[in-house]
Amino acid sequence: MGKELLQEGILVRGQSCGVGLALCRRLLEEDGRIHLCIACRNEQKSEATRDLILATHPAAQVSTVEMDLGNLASVLRAARELRCRFQRLDFIYLNAGIMPNPHVNFKALWHGLLTGRVLHMLTTAEGIMTQTDRLNGDGLQEVFATNLFGHFMLVRQLQSLLCGNEKPSRLIWTSSSNARESAFSLSDYQHAKGQESYSSSKYATDLTSVVLNRKFNDQGLYSSVVCPGLVMSNMTYRILPVFLWKLLMPIMWLIRFFAKTYTLTPYNGAEAHVWLFKQKPEYLDSLVKYHSCTSGLGRCYVEPRKMDVDEDTAEKFYQKLLELEEQTLEKYHDLLD
């Protein structure tokens, strides 16, 4: 297949449902000339998602690529295919993520209610959400591999499509208000020993974005971080039984009058992603996370908040990622050009 000359080449990872699918539709509403390349874990999911997008935007340019971020061989194969297919990519939305076996600590939630911290806990999940993790087929912690390292490897492998173009290219990482320094440790950056692997991986995402800006802004590559807020998606429905969520929904709509990050719908959750699509990256703050927010009356808007990241820690973490990348490329050298 020959390389494609694109008006806007946009790769979206993690869009078979939820925020990702809403993002694809909203991007096409902003500019119907863009070429969307959607990446899912398998061909069936990719094609099903493409059909959903074309059902509402029949004239859209939509292609697919198979990519499982939890499988590094799959990431390298997909990157090789994308390098053959495209001359440049204007945006990569790094939206995929997993939260395996989430558990609510109801004792901690009750304590938060008694101490007046319940609203903070409900908007950040701090202290009330734990997860159990496991090793994947590459010998990496599954959450770290899927939420962060697979994305990192993809970006590194697509660097030739992102750097040195006539206009800037953009990375948009989906982070979380649950990204906390207290859950992350340089000595255990894959979070093998803790029970907050999701929070750790999202804090690692924030660190990575900060360093990428320092390394690649002068080559025309800019990185931003967003938080979609609390969205009712497949990931959310795994935390509590669906019937319980349905009982809680009227309460959650009321909470939104006090907690603006209760975006609740995928459309609302994609607000910051779409807002960044329309911004000039040179004027954005690399130390800010852009939060999708929704008022109690349903108005969507974006709120920038300074990230709690230590730039020295970010640099040290980046070096660890480079070391892990080197080990990976040695292992899968047959998948490189």
Domain definitions of the chain by residue range = 9-335
Which candidate in 198, 203, 222, 318 is catalytic?
198
Query: Mean pLDDT in each 10-residue stretch from start to end of the chain (337 residues)?
Result: 56 77 94 92 86 93 93 96 93 86 60 59 62 88 96 97 94 92 95 91 97 97 95 67 72 80 90 97 96 92 95 97 96 87
Q: So what's the pLDDT on residue 112?
A: 56
Q: So what's the pLDDT on residue 125?
A: 64
Helix-, strand-, coil-residue percentages of the chain, each rounded to 5: 50, 15, 35
d(CA 181, CA 170): 25
**Sign of torsion over alpha carbons 227, 230, 231, 234:** positive
> Is 283 known to be catalytic?
no
Q: What CATH superfamily classification does 9-335 receive?
A: NAD(P)-binding Rossmann-like Domain (3.40.50.720)
Q: So what's the pLDDT on residue 6?
A: 47
Q: So what's the pLDDT on residue 7?
A: 47
Q: So what's the pLDDT on residue 129?
A: 65
